[in-house]
């Protein structure tokens, strides 16, 4: 007998499904996806749980990559809910679509975002196609984001209700077609409420800590991951103000724009700290400056983005929007000026610190995510 969803969440956020759906739930072994499956089961949907086997740390990278434990935790959740459980091997696709993108970006001096690419290419790409081939209508994940109908046969993507956990930024490159087949059952919940529901239902992941790793690679530090796959290419550390060499680095891929710690250059006599302000690929120079408002290259008022993607209709005329330049950053106002061929000029109302080529910019109208692009 179907349990009433009204009993689980406050009336103001009750979500009623128009009809029973066959949904494949991406069970990662964490509490968020576990509760996503729980809620869909309680709503009466026909669900199956599946673990995406993307990476198994076969090269013995230093760090904790607990894929076997995650599979067992996901299986235990499925058993508790009384649903079928599958392990879907997508390792070759993940290496090709996410890992190669990550490594190629760092080798070219860029700052790629594997989590955004994993969502577009894997969860709502390869995994979604697998689900559709198997007869599922949709794929559900444990993202803190909300999908709402905004017009006939059109859906909008909105921030999660818990602003401390909102993950809409990581969905910035999804298409309307992908969103139509996506389900985000926990997007209306605050994290403490989600934990409470998990404990109340006796889910084995109720107290499991959240993963902080690289997408599905696990608790592996980025530097350790890069050290295993990208050859070191030492070069000079150059003071941007006068082009003076003041040290040597191990490889540009180990550093990010705005980085202060771990550069290997001590503060000056006035105790001013250096930070990274640029990378010069032609001579493999790491550019540094004192971390001040006048530091060359550290603050940006205007930039260009490419590879624009929109959830709904593309923006073809200049307009005012908001954007996030990083996951944890607040939304900031911008002038968005399309320049054709999937590119645009961006003018920030307030200068932004430490923007790096290859980073993802997420575009918003209020709480609605409308798309994203890549910093040039």
Find out whether 161 and 189 touch, Cβ atoms under 8 Å. Answer: yes
Closest CA to 217 of 56, 108, 373, 327: 56
- 65, 215, 303, 323: the catalytic one is 215
Three-state secondary-structure class, residue 199? helix
Cα separation, 38 vs 42, whole angstroms: 6
Active-site residue flag, 303: no
- 65, 118, 303, 323: the catalytic one is 118
Contacts of 230 (CB under 8 A, 6+ apart): 103, 106, 107, 251, 253
Find out whether 306 and 298 touch, Cβ atoms under 8 Å. Answer: no
Find out whether 281 and 252 touch, Cβ atoms under 8 Å. Answer: yes
HEC string of 27-62 equals CCCCHHHHHHHHHHHHCCCEEEEEEEECCCCCCCCC
Active-site residue flag, 118: yes
Backbone angles phi, psi at 129, to 5 degrees: -65, -40
| Alpha helices (H) in 82-208, listed in sequence order | 91-94, 100-107, 114-117, 127-133, 176-180, 191-200
Cα separation, 90 vs 67, whole angstroms: 13
Cα separation, 261 vs 196, whole angstroms: 38
**Any idea which residues carry the catalytic annotation?**
118, 215
């Amino acid at each position: 007998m179907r349990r009433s969803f009204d009993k689980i969440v406050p009336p103001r956020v009750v979500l009623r499904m128009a009809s029973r759906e066959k949904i494949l739930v991406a069970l990662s072994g964490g509490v968020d996806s576990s509760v996503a499956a729980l809620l869909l089961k309680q709503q009466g949907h026909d669900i199956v749980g599946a673990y995406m086997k993307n990476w198994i740390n076969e090269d013995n990278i230093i760090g904790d990559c607990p894929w076997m434990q995650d599979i067992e935790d996901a299986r235990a959740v499925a058993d508790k809910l009384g649903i079928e459980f599958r392990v879907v091997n997508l390792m070759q696709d993940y290496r090709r679509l996410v890992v190669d993108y990550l490594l190629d970006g760092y080798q070219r001096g860029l700052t790629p975002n594997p989590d955004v690419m994993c969502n577009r290419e894997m969860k709502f790409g390869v995994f979604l196609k697998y689900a559709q081939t198997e007869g599922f209508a949709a794929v559900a994940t444990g993202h803190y984001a909300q999908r709402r109908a905004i017009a006939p046969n059109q859906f909008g993507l909105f921030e999660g209700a818990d602003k401390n956990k909102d993950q809409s930024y990581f969905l910035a490159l999804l298409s309307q077609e992908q969103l139509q087949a996506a389900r985000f059952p926990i997007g209306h919940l605050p994290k403490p409420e989600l934990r409470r529901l998990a404990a109340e239902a006796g889910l084995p992941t109720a107290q499991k800590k959240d993963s902080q790793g690289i997408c599905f690679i696990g608790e592996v530090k980025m530097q350790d991951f890069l050290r295993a796959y990208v050859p070191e290419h030492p070069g000079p550390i150059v003071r941007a103000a006068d082009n003076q060499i003041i040290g040597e680095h191990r490889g540009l891929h180990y550093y990010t724009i705005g980085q202060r710690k771990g550069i290997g250059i001590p503060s000056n006599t006035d105790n001013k700290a250096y930070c990274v302000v640029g990378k010069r690929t032609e001579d493999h120079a790491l550019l540094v400056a004192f971390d001040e408002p006048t530091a060359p290259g550290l603050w940006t008022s205007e930039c260009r983005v490419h590879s624009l993607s929109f959830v709904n209709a593309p923006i073809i005329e200049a307009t005012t929007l908001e954007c996030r330049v990083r996951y944890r950053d607040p939304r900031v106002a911008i002038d968005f000026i399309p320049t054709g061929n999937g590119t645009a000029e961006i003018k920030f109302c307030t200068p932004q610190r430490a923007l790096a080529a290859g980073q993802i910019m997420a575009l918003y109208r209020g709480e609605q995510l409308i798309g994203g692009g890549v910093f040039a």
